[in-house]
Protein backbone atom coordinates (compact mmCIF):
# COMPACT_ATOMS: atom_id res chain seq x y z
CA UNK A 1 0.00 0.00 0.00
CA UNK A 2 2.74 2.61 0.67
CA UNK A 3 3.83 2.49 -2.97
CA UNK A 4 0.25 3.27 -4.06
CA UNK A 5 0.38 6.57 -2.17
CA UNK A 6 3.72 7.79 -3.52
CA UNK A 7 6.00 6.19 -0.92
CA UNK A 8 9.20 4.61 -2.18
CA UNK A 9 11.08 1.77 -0.51
CA UNK A 10 14.54 2.72 0.57
CA UNK A 11 17.39 0.71 -0.90
CA UNK A 12 18.93 0.13 2.52
CA UNK A 13 15.89 -1.31 4.31
CA UNK A 14 12.84 -2.81 2.60
CA UNK A 15 10.61 -1.88 5.55
CA UNK A 16 11.35 1.83 5.34
CA UNK A 17 9.41 4.02 2.93
CA UNK A 18 9.85 7.71 2.15
CA UNK A 19 7.66 10.19 0.37
CA UNK A 20 8.83 13.64 -0.68
CA UNK A 21 6.15 16.22 -1.29
CA UNK A 22 6.32 19.01 -3.88
CA UNK A 23 6.35 21.64 -1.13
CA UNK A 24 9.62 20.23 0.27
CA UNK A 25 8.08 18.32 3.19
CA UNK A 26 8.57 14.58 3.68
CA UNK A 27 7.27 11.57 5.59
CA UNK A 28 9.24 8.46 6.46
CA UNK A 29 7.19 5.36 7.26
CA UNK A 30 8.96 2.54 9.14
CA UNK A 31 7.32 -0.87 9.47
CA UNK A 32 8.33 -3.45 12.08
CA UNK A 33 6.17 -6.55 12.59
CA UNK A 34 2.85 -4.95 13.59
CA UNK A 35 4.16 -1.47 14.41
CA UNK A 36 4.39 1.65 12.27
CA UNK A 37 6.59 4.63 13.08
CA UNK A 38 5.93 7.85 11.16
CA UNK A 39 8.54 10.58 10.93
CA UNK A 40 7.94 13.84 9.15
CA UNK A 41 8.04 17.57 9.32
CA UNK A 42 4.37 18.36 8.61
CA UNK A 43 1.86 17.28 11.26
CA UNK A 44 -1.11 17.73 8.90
CA UNK A 45 0.42 15.36 6.34
CA UNK A 46 1.21 12.79 9.05
CA UNK A 47 -2.35 13.01 10.39
CA UNK A 48 -3.67 12.57 6.84
CA UNK A 49 -1.57 9.44 6.39
CA UNK A 50 -2.76 8.05 9.73
CA UNK A 51 -6.35 8.69 8.67
CA UNK A 52 -5.80 6.96 5.30
CA UNK A 53 -4.15 3.95 6.95
CA UNK A 54 -6.93 3.78 9.56
CA UNK A 55 -9.51 3.33 6.80
CA UNK A 56 -7.65 0.25 5.54
CA UNK A 57 -6.17 -1.26 8.71
CA UNK A 58 -7.30 -1.58 12.30
CA UNK A 59 -4.93 0.80 14.07
CA UNK A 60 -4.33 2.36 17.46
CA UNK A 61 -2.39 5.63 17.73
CA UNK A 62 0.08 5.32 20.61
CA UNK A 63 1.23 8.94 20.35
CA UNK A 64 4.80 10.13 20.08
CA UNK A 65 7.48 7.45 20.23
CA UNK A 66 9.49 7.49 23.43
CA UNK A 67 11.40 4.23 22.94
CA UNK A 68 12.41 2.20 19.88
CA UNK A 69 13.87 -1.27 20.45
CA UNK A 70 14.25 -0.38 24.12
CA UNK A 71 16.31 2.75 23.43
CA UNK A 72 15.10 6.23 24.26
CA UNK A 73 14.17 8.59 21.44
CA UNK A 74 14.12 12.33 22.04
CA UNK A 75 13.32 15.36 19.94
CA UNK A 76 14.89 18.65 20.84
CA UNK A 77 14.06 21.93 19.17
CA UNK A 78 16.57 24.72 18.75
CA UNK A 79 16.50 28.30 17.56
CA UNK A 80 19.48 30.36 16.54
CA UNK A 81 18.76 34.06 16.35
CA UNK A 82 21.54 36.37 15.20
CA UNK A 83 19.50 39.05 13.54
CA UNK A 84 22.11 41.74 14.14
CA UNK A 85 24.55 40.08 11.71
CA UNK A 86 21.92 38.99 9.19
CA UNK A 87 21.21 42.50 7.91
CA UNK A 88 19.61 41.33 4.65
CA UNK A 89 16.78 39.11 5.81
CA UNK A 90 16.67 39.53 9.61
CA UNK A 91 15.79 35.82 9.89
CA UNK A 92 16.48 33.34 12.61
CA UNK A 93 17.28 29.67 12.07
CA UNK A 94 15.39 26.93 13.84
CA UNK A 95 15.24 23.18 13.58
CA UNK A 96 15.11 19.88 15.41
CA UNK A 97 17.62 17.35 16.66
CA UNK A 98 16.57 13.71 16.99
CA UNK A 99 18.57 11.51 19.33
CA UNK A 100 18.46 7.75 19.60
CA UNK A 101 20.24 5.85 22.37
CA UNK A 102 22.06 9.04 23.33
CA UNK A 103 23.43 9.84 19.86
CA UNK A 104 22.26 12.33 17.26
CA UNK A 105 20.37 11.00 14.25
CA UNK A 106 20.48 12.92 10.98
| pLDDT at site 30 | 85
Give start and end residues of each alpha helix (H) in the chain: 43-56
Closest to 46 measured CA to CA, from 74, 93, 5: 5
Q: 3-class DSSP state for residue 70? A: coil
pLDDT in tens, 17-61: 888 888 888 888 888 888 888 888 788 888 998 898 888 888 888
* pTM strictly above 0.85: no
Domain limits for position 38: 2-56
| pLDDT at site 103 | 62
Query: Into how many domains does the chain fold?
Result: 2
Q: 3-class DSSP state for residue 47? A: helix
| pLDDT at site 3 | 55
The strand pairing partners of 27, in sequence order, are: 19, 40
* 6 and 44 together in one domain: yes
Report the distance separating Cα 26 and Cα 19, nearest Å.
Answer: 6
What mean pLDDT value characterizes the chain? 75
* 52 and 87 together in one domain: no
Residue 30, domain member (yes or no): yes
Residue 38, domain member (yes or no): yes
* 75 and 44 together in one domain: no
* 39 and 73 together in one domain: no
| pLDDT at site 1 | 53
Amino acid sequence: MPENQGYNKTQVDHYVYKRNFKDGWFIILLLYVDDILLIGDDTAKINGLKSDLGRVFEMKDLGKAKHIFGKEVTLEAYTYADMARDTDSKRSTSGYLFTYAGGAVS
